[in-house]
Amino acid sequence: MSWSPRLEGPVFVRSAAGTARVVAVVAMAFVLAACGDEPVEPTPAPVPASITITAPDTKLFAGSTVQLSAQVYGDAGQVLNVEVQWSSSDTTVASVNGRGAVTALQTGAVRIRATYGNISSSIDMLVEHHPDRAVLVDLYRALDGPNWVTPEGPWLTDRGLDAWHGVETDLRGNVTRLSLPGAGLKGSLPPAIGGLDKLAELDLSGNAISGPIPPEIAALQSLERLNLGGNPLSGPIPAELGTLESLTSLFLSRNRFSGPIPPELGRLTSLERLNLEGNQLSGPIPPELGQLTSLRTLDLRNNQLQSIPAEIGGLAKLRLLVLERNRLSGPIPPELGTHFPV
């Protein structure tokens, strides 16, 4: 049994000089424990009891990366602010770093585990081929892939597409860059090329690609840079290129394109460089090219073009204009003097 007399309010003690001194301003309590009472035990530390892993998806594409998270709980269900250790059952299929970022490397099944002390939890993941792989396989077969020069990594493997020579991908495994200049490509571009809907750069210059550009290229709405120069491509330049509004550079030089320059190219208001030199293009330079407000260089030499529109003089950012070796006739528009004074 214990008793607890309480004394509340300020306490004053009279000094020898007769003045009051404040000894305490707050309430004080005295607890006198009776003989035999047990002392109060401290609260025990929580014991880790379980781990929960959270994943945005358990199916990954080879070459992609996904971020996992793990939460440790105590024996009373409380959240513990601790860090786990991550591991992969097969690092050839997928690796995981110390922060739980899983990178899928090649097709297969893998178990990712989170461990803290003597407890752990795991999640099963499946790595599959990315849909862009089928497009690249079609390209490989259509352009004589077995005879390509691919020193940085072979094609048609089960590894992520970014391990293939000339291919770059984003964190989700989408192909964003395909660069195979001078790699020995031979044949015609397949329509399947339009399936790379996240492609930002396509460089197939300096090869032996023949035939027309397939109109399906219009599906590449993320395309910013297109270089097909130095091939024996033929036929007209497809008007569908005018729908690629993200293009900043377009190189179709030293091919065998014929017919007029499509006026639809005037829709490419982000275009900074346009090079169509060394083809068999004919007719007047379309005045719609005067709508290319971002254009800095325009190279149309070595064709059969016949006249220069005055609208070219309205290109405020134009710094290089090359028109030599054409069949131009008539006066030079005075508007060109704004950019290229004599």
> According to CATH, what is the number of the domain 132-338?
3.80.10.10
Query: CATH: 3.10.20.340, 3.90.650.10, 3.40.50.720, 2.60.40.1080. Which one for 48-128?
Result: 2.60.40.1080
Secondary structure letter of residue 139 according to DSSP: H
Helix ranges, the chain (H):
132-142
User: Residue 329 class from Cβ within 10 Å (0-12 exposed, 13-18 middle, 19+ buried)?
Assistant: exposed
CA–CA separation, 317 vs 272, rounded Å? 9
Single out the residue of 128, 156, 158 nearest to residue 141, CA to CA. Answer: 156
Partner residues linked to 123 by β-bridges: 112
DSSP letters for 90-122: -TTTEEE-TT-EEEE-BSEEEEEEEEETTEEEE
**DSSP 8-state class, residue 77:** S
DSSP letter, residue 293:
T
Q: Could you tell me which residues come within 8 angstroms of residue 63 by beta carbon, excluding any fewer than 6 positions away?
A: 104, 105, 130, 159, 160, 161, 162, 163, 169, 173
For the chain, give every domain's residue range: 48-128, 132-338
Please report, in tens digits, the pLDDT of each residue of the chain (342 residues total): 444 444 344 433 343 444 333 333 333 333 334 445 566 677 778 899 999 999 999 999 999 999 999 999 999 999 999 999 999 999 999 999 999 999 999 999 999 999 999 999 999 999 999 999 999 999 999 999 999 998 888 999 999 999 999 999 999 999 999 999 999 999 999 999 999 999 999 999 999 999 999 999 999 999 999 999 999 999 999 999 999 999 999 999 999 999 999 999 999 999 999 999 999 999 999 999 999 999 999 999 999 999 999 999 889 999 999 999 999 988 787 777 665 554
Please report the pLDDT score of residue 339 as a whole number: 59
| Structure-token pair, residue 207 | 């090869």
Task: Please state, in angstroms and rounded to a whole number, the distance separating the CA atoms of residues 133 and 85.
Answer: 33
Which DSSP helix (H) or strand (E) runs through 209? strand 208-210
Location of structure tokens 């250790």: 85
Is 165:157 a contact under the CB 8 Å cutoff? Answer: no
The amino acid present at 89, given as its one-letter code, is S
Is residue 168 within 8 Å of residue 162, measured between CB atoms? yes
- Domain pair 48-128 / 132-338, same fold: no
pTM of the model: 0.81
Place of tokens 């047990």: 38
Q: What is the pLDDT of residue 42?
A: 73
Half-sphere exposure of 237 (CA within 13 A, CB side): 27
- Encoding tokens for residue 224? 């910013």
Q: For the CA atoms of 137, 143, 146, 152, what is the dihedral angle to 10 degrees?
A: -70
